[in-house]
Amino acid sequence: MATHNLIEVVLTGAIVDVSTADQIYIPVPTGFAGDVVEIRAAIDAALSTADAMLTPKIGGTAMTNGAVTVAQSGSAAGSTFVSYPTGARTVAPGDAIEIETDGGSTGTAKCNITLVIRR
């Protein structure tokens, strides 16, 4: 078995349409445990009407201060948004991190998600 000295791992996923209420699950790699320290989102089109809220969860429990507001005002392709979870953010190998969108906005926009996990 190989020894890994990684301090951080970056995981990615995508929500097909952030303006439609839905969720995705991003798996944590085997052999890696730690805390989610940063969540970034980027959209590929402008949103209309209202913000979309992304809620990250582990085992059904929302991360403290982990929600990402995908702001409608001023949004455009390439707009990025970030949160820095402070609690309920510890993952174990084989966990799945759920990212849920409330679909509060209108306008079809893909939302790419990046999670940084630190040991």
Model pLDDT for residues 101-118, shown as the tens digit of each residue: 999 999 999 999 999 999
Residue 8 lies in a domain: no
Asked whether residue 63 is domain-assigned, the answer is: yes
- Whether 20 is in a domain gets the answer yes
Q: What distance in Å separates the CA atoms of residue 94 and residue 79, rounded to the nearest whole number?
A: 31
Contact (Cβ atoms closer than 8 angstroms) between residue 15 and residue 52: no
Does residue 75 form part of some domain?
yes
CB neighbourhood size of 68 (10 A): 23
The CATH number given to whatever domain includes residue 28 is 2.60.120.260
Residue 11 lies in a domain: no
Q: Please give the residue range of the domain that contains residue 36.
A: 16-118
CA distance linking residue 92 with residue 77, whole number of Å: 34
**Number of compact structural domains in the chain:** 1
Question: Is 7 domain-assigned?
Answer: no
- pLDDT category of residue 31 using cuts at 50, 70 and 90: confident
Our measurement of the distance from residue 78's CA atom to the centroid of its chain's CA atoms, rounded to an integer in Å, reads 16
The pLDDT of residue 47: 96
Q: Mean pLDDT across the stretch 42-65? A: 97
56-to-2, 74, 83, 114 alpha-carbon distances in Å: 31, 24, 10, 12
Read off the pTM: 0.92
Confirm whether 41 is domain-assigned: yes
